[in-house]
């Protein structure tokens, strides 16, 4: 003879698990607060989201929380890199920030509007850009991301960002 819950809430073994988790949370012994839903969107590539540029004391103008978070980190001690973000054969003036994960961010304002048009990511502080985002038409949205796949310091592969 099997037992059955007659309150039309019988979800099988998962209902007992949920009730136990809820009881644990209410007891104050739970290590984290329980939540419903699927949780935060997973970070599948480990790269910061690219949406819109904007730094400063005001909330970012859409570049997303990633760049705003990067702005809170000082550049790694002694870090100095040189990049030619526009490909004209001359090094561009850059701002260096720490990425909070042991790497550096290299921001270049190519058109002088105060917003970065190039953000290079040196993830291991070897003075080589591992990947970079570009705002080619200076509209505040990054259109492409380029990668240095073989570690030689030259960005070899391009992915166009379709959400911009």
Q: What is the pLDDT of residues 88-122, one digit of tens each?
A: 999 999 999 998 889 999 999 999 999 999 999 99
Residues 6 or more apart whose CB falls under 8 angstroms from that of 136 comprise 117, 143, 144
The whole-number average pLDDT for the span 142-162 is 91
Kindly state the tokens that stand for 5.
């819950």
Does 24 lie in the same domain as 87?
Answer: no
Which pLDDT band, with edges at 50, 70 and 90, does 132 fall under?
Answer: very high
Burial classification of residue 70, based on how many CB atoms lie within 10 Å of its CB (0-12 exposed, 13-18 middle, 19 or more buried) = buried
CA distances (Å), origin 94, targets 23, 81, 112, 145: 54, 8, 12, 18
**Is residue 1 one of the residues assigned to a domain?**
no
pTM of the model: 0.56
First vs last Cα of the chain: how many Å apart? Answer: 61
Q: Is the pLDDT assigned to residue 7 strictly greater than 90?
A: no
The answer to whether the beta carbons of residues 111 and 117 sit under 8 Å apart is: yes
- Which one, of 135, 131, 136, 133, lies nearest residue 155 by Cα? 131
Does 142 lie in the same domain as 68?
Answer: yes
Domain span at residue 148?
49-164
Does 53 lie in the same domain as 35?
Answer: no
Does 88 lie in the same domain as 13?
Answer: no
Residues 6 or more apart whose CB falls under 8 angstroms from that of 130 comprise 103, 121, 122, 123, 124, 147, 148, 151
Half-sphere exposure of 80 (CA within 13 A, CB side): 3
């Amino acid at each position: 003879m099997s037992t059955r819950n007659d309150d039309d809430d019988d979800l099988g073994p998962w209902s007992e698990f949920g009730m136990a988790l809820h009881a644990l949370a209410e007891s104050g012994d739970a290590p984290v607060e329980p939540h419903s839903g699927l949780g935060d969107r997973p970070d599948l590539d480990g790269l910061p989201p690219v949406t819109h540029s904007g730094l400063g004391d005001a909330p970012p103008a859409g570049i997303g929380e990633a760049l705003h978070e990067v702005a809170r980190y000082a550049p790694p001690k002694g870090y100095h890199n040189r990049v030619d973000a526009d490909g004209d054969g001359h090094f561009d003036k850059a701002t260096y920030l720490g990425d909070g994960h042991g790497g550096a961010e290299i921001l270049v304002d190519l058109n002088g509007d105060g917003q970065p048009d190039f953000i290079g990511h040196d993830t291991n502080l070897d003075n080589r850009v591992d990947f970079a985002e570009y705002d080619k038409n200076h509209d505040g949205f990054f259109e492409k991301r380029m990668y240095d796949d073989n570690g030689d310091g030259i960005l070899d592969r391009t992915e166009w960002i379709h959400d911009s």
